Amino acid sequence: MSALGVALLAGGLTLVLSLALPVAVRPLLMRLGIMDVPNERSSHERPVLRGLGLAVLIAMAAGFLCALLLPGGDASPALWIVAGASVLSGLLGLGEDLKGVSVPVRSALLLAIALAASALLVWVPQAGWSRAWVGALPFVVQALLVVYGVLFVSSYINVANFMDGLNGISGFHGVIAGAAFAAAGGLAGLPWLAAAGLVLAAGFAGFLPWNLTRPGAFLGDVGSYLLGGATAITSFAALMAGVPVLATIGPMIIYFGDVGVTLAKRVRAGRKWDEPHKEHVYQRLQQAGLSHVASSGITAAFTAAASILGLLSFFLAPVWWIVLLVAGVLLVALYALLPRLAGLSRDPA
């Protein structure tokens, strides 16, 4: 079987398992009493089962193993690193769902996962999966890349957790980000990246029906940490493999923009940035009268547009990438203005 065939099989297996496993996982979560009770950050009004991201985690782990172990697959070091760090991110979230993890311990473990993944992706032997550009850099520059990777991965796991506040939003994000990475893998000739993207997209596609139909269920921290970890680590791995930088960050700029703009507004207004709130762009769209799915769909549409802009960098000379970058910044700015355009003329006090 070809590497592409194995990648497609891995994605198909992940989708089937993600659709089916909640049948077994839901009763377990109900027995454990893992419920999401509405609070200051919530956009729902009744307790809802959470932690269904455990099914996505198991499905994606199986998909990664399929891509890595089947004959003909691209068992690249990069895919091993992406798979391992993604699963560890989900397991950290699972610990938070089950027992709670103190902030210092959670932060230390997040940084440890990000550090291990970033260091391996920068310093693992390059032959067979990465272009030579990283190995040709001075050691000090390689070390700075590791520092960047740690900050990038750990921050995006938190970003994905902050953004997991409406039905559909995380599922849509996983599907779009995974599809973008799969396309980038195909365009760059990197089967391992195509496999990683397909597994990510399929895992969260299988969750969506359980999230969007009654009685509904939430990912929980296990799912949002998995989403953030898998997306950020795949993005950083793609960058280290020579994929154009805009293609690696395209699926992430709307999420980063939403969180960044919201936190900046809170700090400017003298409010504590780390307090629970409902001031993100996607939440304010829902407060303006849109349904959960409509608000999540708008965020997803902007993410898809940003992803397409990133993928266009494969077809344009680097000198033109500045045009794509400016277009991406304008896209984030337009997204941030949407609540006002929807009728919320002032920022929350």
The per-residue pLDDT for 47 is 72
The per-residue pLDDT for 269 is 79
Give the mean model confidence (pLDDT) for residues 280-291. Answer: 90
The residues, any chain, with a CB within 8 Å of residue 91's CB and separated by 6 or more, are 57, 222
The per-residue pLDDT for 42 is 54
Give the mean model confidence (pLDDT) for residues 234-244. Answer: 95
DSSP conformation class of 252: G
| Six-digit token string for 77 | 């070091």
The per-residue pLDDT for 349 is 45
| Six-digit token string for 292 | 């959960």
The per-residue pLDDT for 49 is 86
Instruction: Specify whether the CB–CB gap between 73 and 7 falls below 8 A.
Output: yes
Lowest mean pLDDT among 36-50, 61-75, 284-298: 36-50
The per-residue pLDDT for 63 is 98
Per-residue exposure over 150-175, b if at least 16 CB sit within 10 Å of its own CB, e if not:
bebbbbbbbbbbbbbbbbbbbbbbbb
- Tell me the pLDDT tens digit for each residue of 263-283: 998 888 788 767 777 889 999
Mean of per-residue pLDDT scores for the chain: 91
Burial of 118 (0-12, 13-18, 19+ CB in 10 A): buried
Lowest mean pLDDT among 14-28, 36-50, 154-168, 242-256: 36-50
- Tell me the pLDDT tens digit for each residue of 120-156: 999 886 544 455 678 788 999 999 999 999 999 999 9
* Distance, CA of 301 to CA of 306 (rounded, Å): 9
The per-residue pLDDT for 341 is 84
* Distance, CA of 144 to CA of 202 (rounded, Å): 33
Taking 90 as the threshold, does the pLDDT of residue 172 lie above it? yes
- Tell me the pLDDT tens digit for each residue of 194-227: 999 999 999 999 999 999 988 888 999 999 999 9
Angle at 219 between CA 338 and CA 211, to 5 degrees: 70
Q: How far apart are the first and last CA of the chain?
A: 59
Coil, helix or strand for 280? coil
Instruction: Specify whether the CB–CB gap between 229 and 115 falls below 8 A.
Output: no
The per-residue pLDDT for 46 is 64
Kindly report whether the peptide bond that precedes residue 125 is cis, defined as omega within 30 degrees of 0.
Answer: no
The rounded percent of the chain whose pLDDT value lies above 70 is 92
Count of CB atoms situated within 10 Å of the CB of 65: 14
The per-residue pLDDT for 279 is 86
Count of CB atoms situated within 10 Å of the CB of 41: 14
The per-residue pLDDT for 33 is 77
Instruction: Specify whether the CB–CB gap between 178 and 198 falls below 8 A.
Output: yes
Taking 80 as the threshold, does the pLDDT of residue 255 lie above it? yes
Domain ranges of the chain: 3-341
* pLDDT band for position 32 (cuts 50, 70, 90): confident
Give the mean model confidence (pLDDT) for residues 43-51. Answer: 72
The per-residue pLDDT for 45 is 56
**Report field, pTM of the whole predicted structure over 0.75:** yes
* pLDDT band for position 245 (cuts 50, 70, 90): very high
The per-residue pLDDT for 128 is 46
